Amino acid sequence: MNFKLFKNFASLKLAISLLFIIAFFSIIGTVIEQGQSIEFYKVNYPNSLNWKIILTLGLDHVYRTWWYSSSLILLGVCLTSCTFFQQFPTLKIARICYFQSRPQQFKRQELNASLNQKSFFELLRFLQNTEHTIFQQNTKVFCYKGILGRFAPIIVHVSLLLILGGSMVAALGGFNGQELITKGEIFHIQNTNNISQFSTVPELPLRINDFWIEYTKDNQIKQFFSDLSVLSSQGNELKRKTISVNIPLRFQNLTIYQTDWDLIGIRCKIESTVYQLPLVPFTKAKNLWSSWIPYINNTGLFLVIKNLEGNFLLYNTSGEFINEGSLNELISLDKSLRVIETLAETGIQIKADPGLPIIYLGFGILMISTLISYISYNQVWVLALKNKILISAQTNRAQLNLQVLFLKFISLNKKSKSTP
């Protein structure tokens, strides 16, 4: 009973339906932001019905829902069933040696011909030289070539099963983390999202050795970099790399990306005293930060900084421009001011995807199976009668190549006729 039930899953319609269902929910998971807070969905989907539906149906974590995983499992069962109950029997039939003993059978084939009897052994020799596998029973011959091409559907199914399995491992065992870290700080992965009950966050120390920004000639940001080290529990450096946007660091099953940056403060010297002051970003202007500098110009000054290089502008409490400067430049007012350093933090994303190697393996095998599928499977039958030889052939693809092969058969026949 269970065997028959499993056999019912060997359905092309069912497989296609499951693929459409998985594709539909994958699109939803792409359109709706995944793994965000409840407040995020309330703000971005203000209609109470919208955000409640998203949270109730699990559309905020589509790829970890039971119904998405069930769809993947059902598709896997469908592919497995199709492999065992359709592809393996087809492969077995392709390897069965069956002969044609009646002339009517030869006439049914699109490619058939009648040769003189003298060309029989030359024909067998030619088939052997063209790498056909030959079976002979008295005057009947059956041969085939390209049996490897019949394995392609099975290999495709195996590759798809690996991709599905890798996707499930990634969904159930992976996580994303976001960290904002200042230069020189050693940290552990803490701010994680999209984490499931099967995910394990490694207790791996990481260190930001340095952070800098590369600017264009017109002072626009070209790229930003973080010099990152992966440490052991004893503090030894296991791997070190300078990461930037689209150039991550990979260690074991972790991938660490450069995603963002921010200025958080300045270190300045007023007269002989060094102060560390916070920076606040402008809400309506990009890449502008401000700080309040006390104890100078009687009531204090507003400092507006434009970039990590430390170029800044000074304004009084009335908003009037006072002066401009750069890092380590001495500004003489009622008290001397020197901005020593800008304090920045780098934004990095840590992604664990344990299923990624399995997915890559699946896609690699899929590419190989695509190449194998282009190998044509040819079948040739020969029957030697008293006064002639009947020959017919068929193929599943590359019909033109088989026709060329047939012309060579006929040329053998002409040569044998001319031989005394």
Distance between CA atoms of residues 178 and 260, nearest Å: 10
Distance between CA atoms of residues 197 and 324, nearest Å: 54
Contact at 8 Å (CB) between 359 and 170? Answer: yes
What residue numbers bound the domain in which 106 lies? 97-146+376-418
Q: Is 366 part of any domain? A: no
Nearest-CA neighbor of 60 among 87, 98, 34? 34
Residue 260 and residue 389 in one domain? no
Residue 108 and residue 138 in one domain? yes
For the chain, the C-alpha Rg in angstroms (whole number) is 36
Per-residue pLDDT of the chain (420 residues; tens, 9 = 90+): 456 667 777 777 888 888 898 888 888 888 888 777 788 888 888 776 577 888 888 888 888 788 888 888 888 888 888 888 888 888 777 777 788 888 888 888 878 888 777 678 888 888 888 888 889 888 899 988 888 888 888 899 899 899 988 888 887 788 888 888 888 888 888 887 767 667 778 888 999 998 888 888 777 788 889 999 999 888 888 999 999 988 899 988 889 999 888 888 888 888 888 888 888 888 777 778 888 888 776 778 888 988 777 788 888 888 888 888 888 888 888 888 888 888 888 889 888 888 888 999 999 999 999 899 888 888 889 888 888 888 888 888 777 777 887 777 777 655 555 444
Distance between CA atoms of residues 390 and 405, nearest Å: 15
Question: Hey, is 120 helix, strand or coil?
Answer: helix
C-alpha distances in angstroms, 59 versus 23, 177, 362?
14, 20, 27
Residue 113 and residue 186 in one domain? no
Nearest-CA neighbor of 133 among 162, 105, 96? 96
Distance between CA atoms of residues 267 and 327, nearest Å: 10
Distance between CA atoms of residues 24 and 72, nearest Å: 13
Residue 355's identity, in one-letter code, is G
Q: Is 127 part of any domain? A: yes
Residue 315 and residue 196 in one domain? yes
Distance between CA atoms of residues 53 and 60, nearest Å: 10
Does this model's pTM top 0.75? Answer: no
Question: Hey, is 164 helix, strand or coil?
Answer: helix
Q: Is 284 part of any domain? A: yes
Residue 135 and residue 257 in one domain? no
Distance between CA atoms of residues 397 and 375, nearest Å: 8
DSSP β-bridge partners for residue 291: 303
Give residue 378's pLDDT. 87
Contact at 8 Å (CB) between 278 and 291? Answer: yes
Q: Is 171 part of any domain? A: no
Q: Is 186 part of any domain? A: yes
